[in-house]
Amino acid sequence: MKNYFRYIALLLIILVASCSFRMGSEGEIRSEEEIRLERACRIDSSMFLPDSNDEGGRGRSRSPIECKDSLSKLSAEAWILVEDSTGLLISAKNPHKRMFMASLTKMMTCLLALENGNMGDTVVITQDVFLTKDSRVRPGDSYLLGNLIREMMLQSDNNAATALAKHIGGSTEAFCDMMNTKAAYLGMDSTHFANPNGMPNDSNYSSARDLVVLSRYCMADSVFASIAGTPFMDIPLTDGRHLPCENTNLLLGQYEGCIGVKTGYTRQAGSCLAAAATRNGTRLFLILLNSRSRSSRFTESAVLLDYGFKSKWPLFPVASSEAE
């Protein structure tokens, strides 16, 4: 009988804990989407101290790891490094500066295609979406929607992104409206999307801060995370052919714990990377913009991620923290 009552008590404790996890500060029930959004947008700068000698936005932190030697030499124009569970801001340079984002744009394209598309739809690559010659997809090719999303993300395929935008939105203009509506929902105040692929356009811009919110929100979707973390995939076309695709994110399989997310490059934007990595239960998200070269975006991202993992941070931020 005693064991029975202990069992009932344990069930009640679990039930209360589960309900409490979803309760807001005033006791309201919070949906999974509300929790996901709040977590993606949370950036806690309580441990981050702006460097008064650097008007460009570089900062220092209360970490036993000295950052000047390792981080001051990085060529990237902007970055932000955040610990995911707390939103703790570990390192940043020009995090709010509006910059071109190249193919990091495709994170939003992928997100909206997953949220609004039917993965079993057939998408034909028509001549009007064949805008760049460096594409792996060709006019007349057809893919299931889910497979075209994978091809776009792994190969960073501009024409695939355009085909997805027209299929989901009816036109690229309508799809861009969807992108900007979603950006507003995520609080991406320094962002405007003018195309679905990140090709050079003065009206297609974002900031490191906005993009880290987007990447954290995207990676909370298990399908998105699976695609972003896939190093290689043999992607089928509907006619039985296959297209071997290797992920352009070279940190996958080479940097311990890397789980994504997306590369970007144009002459206008420079070399960019959205990266995420997990070690020993700690997950870091990094946005790096306008690095010197396509190779330096990976080496510099590894330096920043190493810095984050080596730093000794409290498990939770202090209660009086000033969050962004």
| The length of the chain, given as a count of residues | 324
Residue 288, burial from CB neighbour count under 10 angstroms (0-12, 13-18, 19+): buried
106 tagged catalytic: yes
156 tagged catalytic: yes
User: Which pair of tokens denotes residue 173?
Assistant: 């203009």
Comparing C-alpha atoms, which of 312, 296, 307 is closest to residue 76? 296
DSSP 199-265: -S-TT-EE-HHHHHHHHHHHHTSHHHHHHHT-SEEEEEPTTS-EEEEE-S-TTTTTSTTEEEEEEEE
Catalytic hit among 45, 61, 91, 103: 103
Q: Which helix (H) or strand (E) holds 260?
A: strand 258-266
Query: CA-to-CA distance for 257 and 279, rounded, in angstroms?
Result: 6
Query: CA-to-CA distance for 129 and 139, rounded, in angstroms?
Result: 8
Bridge partners (DSSP) of residue 278 are 283
CA 256 to chain centre: 18
User: Which pair of tokens denotes residue 211?
Assistant: 């993009």
Query: CA-to-CA distance for 193 and 161, rounded, in angstroms?
Result: 13
Catalytic hit among 156, 207, 215, 291: 156
Comparing C-alpha atoms, which of 91, 55, 102 is closest to residue 290? 102
103 tagged catalytic: yes
Catalytic hit among 106, 166, 182, 262: 106
Q: Which residues belong to the active site? A: 103, 106, 156
